Amino acid sequence: MRFLVVKRRTVIIAVIAAAVIAFALTGVYYTGAAAIYNNVSPKMVPIYSVETEEKAVALTFDAAWGADKTLGILETLEEKDACATFFLVGFWAEKYEDELKKLAASDRIEIGTHSATHPYMSKLSRSQISLELSTSKSLIEGISGRKIELFRPPYGDYSDALLTEAKEQGLYTVQWDVDSLDWKGISKEQIASRVVGNCRNGSIVLMHNDGKHTLDALPAIIDGLRAKGFTFKTVGELIYKDNYTIDHTGRQIKGD
């Protein structure tokens, strides 16, 4: 029975990948974690940071490709009494079930979706967007036993249609206002300096579970932010779930 379930997941992911591959071959090239937008600026904006008087930040890790440093990141967070949010791609969750289950077993970790196949989602039709979100949610929830309420678009690429569909599926779309640039392979000192030097109240920090020096930089990031008086929250704890607005910079603001 388990073989049939895993096989079915694989087929679903393969079908989605085939459906979107034509859209990936349109002359848009990979740019790391830099945000990519439509030719026309969308009217809707995801959450990039949170307006708050509390000196709190959220550390986040995108997981799409490798997993060899994932448990090391988890161990560091637990040892340092910190927390983080992991955004997982569906095919990553399927390939690395054991790592996902260990993340889900920790009360230091929050889990969100990063799509099913990691496409440029602004190039997809509404039905393809819906399938990316619903399939990844179902897959990750099935393995982790966690309810998924957060979504981060691959490449930071979004559209009004994507944000609307995500909201209809009960997902808060979350970006970042502090990019560690760990995806560029910069040194651990450079990563830590960028994060610690650029965080403000309500910042959301972008990192990657497979960054070359991310794990090595993490202790200095946690210690450096604490030295500046910051505490750590998961994204779900940091953001407002209702009665809020989002300004043109993506700053989420609590309503009256």
Q: Which residues are catalytic?
A: 62, 208
Angle, to 10 degrees, between the axis of helix 160-168 and the axis of helix 126-144?
A: 40
Residue-wise over 190-221: b if at least 16 C-beta within 10 A, else e? Answer: bbbbbbbeebeebbbbbbbbbbbbbbbbbebb
The H-assigned helical ranges of the chain are 2-24, 70-79, 90-95, 97-104, 126-144, 160-168, 188-198, 214-227, 235-238
Measured in residues, the chain has a length of 256
Distance CA 136, CA 92 (A): 10
Exposed, middle or buried, 82 (CB in 10 Å: 0-12/13-18/19+)? buried
Distance CA 60, CA 205 (A): 6
